[in-house]
């Protein structure tokens, strides 16, 4: 973090971000609050990757809406946005589970035991295709994270920072979600038609 910003108040940093598009000020704000906000989100969602995505999305939105920042208390603003993101996460999760339960109930009415191994193999192939879409380092970080290694361990093993590890995991999740979403839509359509 740039030492100029260590003595700046949060509100001054917000003003620099809002009025001057100061990326270094934004990085300073990110460094000050990421861990605290992540820990808060994690305590509410109990999922490391969901908490990370919530906070990453918060900071992306904060940067995109920087011209409209009129907060008098930065900490309060960040925690309020985090709370909203957590509520949004739970709403999406509730909707997803409700749709999944409906789909599962409908699928149970149809005997699909012969289709399952084929669908599972197809999903595995799509997952592996998605992995190959990732850059080599991103793929390596993601695979290690799925093997149970903590971000700190991965960073030490690959000689990269924890933030770089987090960025690789976030990127991998976005690519895989996008890649697998297409597959899931096709599978659902096929399941409904047949």
Q: Where in the chain are the domains?
A: 1-109, 111-194
Label each residue of 129-149 as H, E or C.
HHHHHCCHHHHHHHHHHHCCC
What pLDDT score was predicted for residue 67? 86
Burial class (CB in 10 A: 0-12, 13-18, 19+), 3: exposed
Longest dimension (CA), the chain: 66
pLDDT at 54: 92
pLDDT mean values, one per 10 residues, the chain (194 residues) = 74 86 88 93 92 91 85 84 90 83 70 64 80 86 87 89 88 82 64 51
Can you tell me the distance from the alpha carbon of 41 to that of 48, in angstroms, rounded to the nearest whole number? 9
pLDDT at site 180: 76
Rounded CA gap, 78 and 55, in Å? 10
CATH topology of domain 1-109: Rna Polymerase Sigma Factor; Chain: A (1.10.1740)
Could you tell me how far CA 176 lies from the centroid of its own chain?
12
Query: May I ask the CATH architecture of the domain 111-194?
Result: Orthogonal Bundle (1.10)
Dist CA 88 CA 97 (whole Å): 14
Has this prediction a pTM greater than 0.95?
A: no
């Amino acid at each position: 973090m740039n030492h100029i910003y260590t003595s700046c108040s949060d509100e001054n940093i917000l003003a620099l971000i809002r009025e001057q598009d100061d990326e270094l000020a934004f990085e300073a704000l990110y460094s000050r609050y990421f861990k605290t906000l992540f820990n808060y989100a994690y305590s509410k969602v109990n999922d490391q990757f969901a908490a990370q995505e919530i906070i990453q999305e918060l900071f992306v939105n904060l940067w995109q809406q920087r011209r409209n920042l009129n907060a008098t208390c930065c900490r309060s603003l960040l925690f309020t946005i985090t709370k909203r993101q957590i509520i949004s996460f739970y709403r999406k999760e509730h909707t997803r589970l409700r749709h999944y339960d409906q789909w599962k109930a409908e699928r149970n009415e149809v005997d699909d035991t012969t289709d399952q191994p084929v669908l599972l193999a197809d999903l595995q192939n799509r997952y592996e295709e998605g992995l190959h879409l990732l850059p080599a380092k991103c793929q390596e970080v993601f695979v290690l994270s799925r093997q149970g290694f903590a971000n700190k361990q991965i960073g030490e093993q690959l000689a990269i920072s924890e933030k770089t590890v987090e960025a690789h995991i976030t990127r991998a999740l976005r690519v895989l979600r996008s890649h697998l979403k297409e597959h899931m839509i096709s599978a659902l359509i096929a399941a409904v038609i047949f």
